[in-house]
Structure 1
Amino acid sequence: MSTLTSTARSRAAATDTAPARAVGPSRRRAARGWLFLLPLLALNALVIGAPGLMSVYYSFTDWSGIGPAQFVGMDNYLRLFSDGAFLQALLNNLWWTVFFLLVPISIALAGAFLLSRTTRGQVIYRVVFFVPYTLATIVVASIWSNIYSPEYGLTAVLGLDINLLGDPDTALASVAVANTWQWWGYLMVIFLSAMSSVNPSLYEAARLDGASGWQQFVHITIPGIRPTLVFMALMTVIWSFLVFDYIYIMTGGGPAGATEVVGTLLYTTAFSTYEAGYAAAMGIVLALISVVMVGGYLGLRRWRGWEV
């Protein structure tokens, strides 16, 4: 009887100590992992976290960018929604977002679908279409500024008296076209990679059923690459609200604020009129828009069960 009792106790003790023994190495591995990540986390906290927190603080102050800052509470944020220049810049950002959600993505989808059906020279086409994306923005913007020049550009060659970058009605669209020329090739390569994972037997079955190329694209290709398509649409929205370089180089926000976006207005406000606190409030609004977009995407992906 005593032998059976001691045996049962030893088994119970072994059962209790087994998880502890198993957890010990696991915790050590996790600790080592965090130890290796610590320098990167510290760098991110220093380079991203600290400036971000400072921006939040200065957005509640009246600060010129030099010297002490005076706390003004919500005044900067209240001023934003009554500032005609900011509202116009935000409207231009919305126009830019809609344009890039429709035009470059549509061109990239069509190009990727046609290229996916090409068996010869596909790599060459990929390189040719991707090359503009590898060029520096200043180079591409300068090239297109010369193309739009009313003195020696395309319109001058065609004999048209049009200043595309100098007309408020055409300036923003002209800059968007220049950016599209560089951007759509990158999207096409992303979509083409996603299309390569679609099961080819689905296309064969659709062809046997008499489906046209358009029907295959709508009912097979789009559902097959939907997670990638939605993710790139999300990134397009975020990048559209952060656009700065093309507009600053080609028009500087002009003429008469026709191409002004929040990024260029923020830069001008901080470094020309020296209202760094007000500019910080603009930056926080842009950050909040990005957070809302990312949160909406993550919620949609979880709801639909999509994986990228």
Structure 2
Amino acid sequence: MTTMDTAPTGGRPKSRGSKRAWLFLSPLLILNGLVVLGPALATVYYAFTDWSGLGPATFIGFDNFTRAFADPAVHDALWHNVIWFVLFGSIPTAMGLLGAYLLSQVKRFQVLFRALYFIPYVVASVVNAAVWKMLLSPTSGIGHAMGIDHAWLGDPDTSLLSVNFVVDWHWWGFLAVVYLAAMQGVDPELYDAAKMDGANRWQQFTSVTLPGIRPTVVFLSLMTVIWTLKAFDYIFIMTGGGPAGSSEVVSTLMYKQAFNEYEAGYAAALGLTMTVIIGFVLAGYQYLKRKGWEE
């Protein structure tokens, strides 16, 4: 092998390789900029305009945000987002932790159970929502077969809770599998030490398991907050935000304002507001992470 075949050393070859890497990445970066950055910047602009979605837009300053601040429909949608967060953040997390802990005690067929847990998550949300919409039907669903003819999705008192039940069912298996993977990384010697100290199963779970998987719990809690603010698909498919706005969240309200009411500028303002809220959530997470809260 000659010196020409050997990898050169020094600054210039490394710089040349870096430029070549950026050259190969540039098409993807340009495409990402057009698909993501372009619409994002356009949303910021249109949030300050009166725009129907077609034709020219008229700059109106902060009028859209002032309107949103006083809009009862926005208040109700935000309140439904809060309810959604409480339910979506607590029930699937508790079920996921419990399911993962029970599954960690299983020695045989664990892979099978993990697959069964994961199936609802990998099925398309459109399919899940359509199937559960039929199952919750007052004329042909599970309730009707049991003699309970209640319109779960058509009753304002139960519509949001019913959709949330379906989303919790879809989501908790994913959490269980992720939590199980984190639990398997906890040092077994810690459990042995806890047993020697007389700790029971619950004490082992709270004193060893939870601290050992805290980074995973914190990260998934952050994602839960973000996904709560972005909740759309199941609600839109199963209830459309109804009846009478009883299951309306900000995302479905934005859709209606943009495509039903032709107030795309107002919808952009709502979307920008939710983006700012998510930004504050991410900033809080980074602050707590720097403080070592998840360690």
Q: Structure 2 length normalisation: TM-score?
A: 0.93
More off after superposition, 143-152 vs 100-109: 143-152
Identity of matched residues, %:
51
More off after superposition, 174-183 vs 293-302: 293-302
* Pairing 1:129-168 to 2, within 5 Å after superposition: 129-168=117-156
Structure 1 or 2, whichever has the larger Rg, is 1
* Pairing 1:31-180 to 2, within 5 Å after superposition: 31-180=19-168
Q: What residue is the counterpart of 1:9 in the other structure?
A: none
One-letter code of the match for 1:125? F
Which one of the candidate residues 212, 220, 227 is aligned to 2:215? 227
Q: How many residues align?
A: 287
Q: Does 1:199 align with 2:187?
A: yes
Which one of the candidate residues 198, 218, 224 is aligned to 1:210? 198
Task: Report how far residue 207 of structure 1 moved.
Answer: 1.4
Task: Report how far residue 205 of structure 1 moved.
Answer: 1.2
Task: Report how far residue 285 of structure 1 moved.
Answer: 1.0
Which one of the candidate residues 287, 292, 295 is aligned to 1:299? 287
Unaligned runs of 5+ in 2: 1-8
Task: Report how far residue 23 of structure 1 moved.
Answer: 4.0
Task: Report how far residue 172 of structure 1 moved.
Answer: 0.5
Q: Structure 1 length normalisation: TM-score?
A: 0.90
Secondary structure, counterpart of 1:81 in structure 2: helix
Which one of the candidate residues 255, 258, 278 is aligned to 1:267? 255
Secondary structure, counterpart of 1:67 in structure 2: coil
Distance 1:34 1:215 in 2: 52
Distance 1:196 1:301 in 2: 23
Distance 2:293 2:171 in 1: 29
Secondary structure, counterpart of 2:291 in structure 1: helix
Q: What residue is the counterpart of 2:4 in the other structure?
A: none
More off after superposition, 103-112 vs 34-43: 34-43
| Contact 2:218–2:294 under 8 Å retained in 1 | no
Task: Report how far residue 26 of structure 1 moved.
Answer: 4.1
Question: Per-residue displacement from partner, 1:230-267 (whole Å, max 9, x unpaired)?
Answer: 10111111011111110111111011100001111111
Which one of the candidate residues 242, 247, 269 is aligned to 2:235? 247
Say if 1:231 and 1:83 are closer, same or farther in 2 by CA, change over 3 A: same
One-letter code of the match for 1:247? I
One-letter code of the match for 2:102? L
Q: What residue is the counterpart of 1:290 in the other structure?
A: 278
More off after superposition, 269-278 vs 38-47: 38-47
